[in-house]
Amino acid sequence: MRHRIYTALVCLPAVSFVLAGCSDDGDSSATTATSVTTASSVSSTTTTPDDPPEPNPTQGEVAPEPAPQPEPEPVNPEAETIQPEPLQVTGPQLGDQCIGADIGRTAVAADGTAIMCDNYVWQLNQGQTPSHPWVDGQREWAECLEGYTTEECREMLNP
């Protein structure tokens, strides 16, 4: 068996003429190999069982038309320009309204400014004492009642 493979390999190299009658030295089941190749071009194709057979032009078969290639979509320069999303600011900002529970709280705005909830609005934090009109009114009323009557406090605090 080795001798047959070797003989076949010796008979198959690329040559520019036809080799005929290569055999394995007198064996009755001699194998004859005929090969026509040129030294300038050697090609091979591999097919799978699912591939359709190649058309043979020598038998009058015509190759099928190639499938049309889809045309590329037109390029829209505006579509390719990626616009960054605007920065989403979170947290309180200077001038925003705040609730009574936040009065006296401090925060830092998106631009790095120190702010404080004062009188229901986020304002620059300048070290001020925050004011809360309702609380301030309650404190004034309580302090007034310590030295005056209810009627006198109403007249003084509600002009």
On average, the pLDDT of the chain sits at 73
What number is the average pLDDT over the span 73-98?
76
Assess contact for 92 and 116: CB atoms under 8 A.
no
pLDDT confidence of 104, banded at 50, 70, 90?
Answer: very high
pLDDT confidence of 13, banded at 50, 70, 90?
Answer: low
Quote the pLDDT of residue 50.
64
81 Cβ neighbours under 8 A, 6+ residues apart: none
> Six-digit token pair at 54?
């190649």
What is the H or E stretch that residue 133 is in? helix 133-145
* Minimum mean pLDDT range among 45-49, 95-99, 147-151: 45-49
Domain ranges of the chain: 1-40, 100-130
The answer to whether the predicted template modeling score (pTM) of the entire model surpasses 0.75 is no
Distance CA 117, CA 133 (A): 13
Per-residue pLDDT tens over the stretch 54-66: 767 677 777 777 7
Interhelix angle 150-157/133-145, rounded to 10 degrees, is 140
Residue 32 predicted with pLDDT over 50:
no
Burial class (CB in 10 A: 0-12, 13-18, 19+), 115: buried
Residue 15 predicted with pLDDT over 50:
no
Residue type present at position 58: T
What number is the average pLDDT over the span 67-85?
72
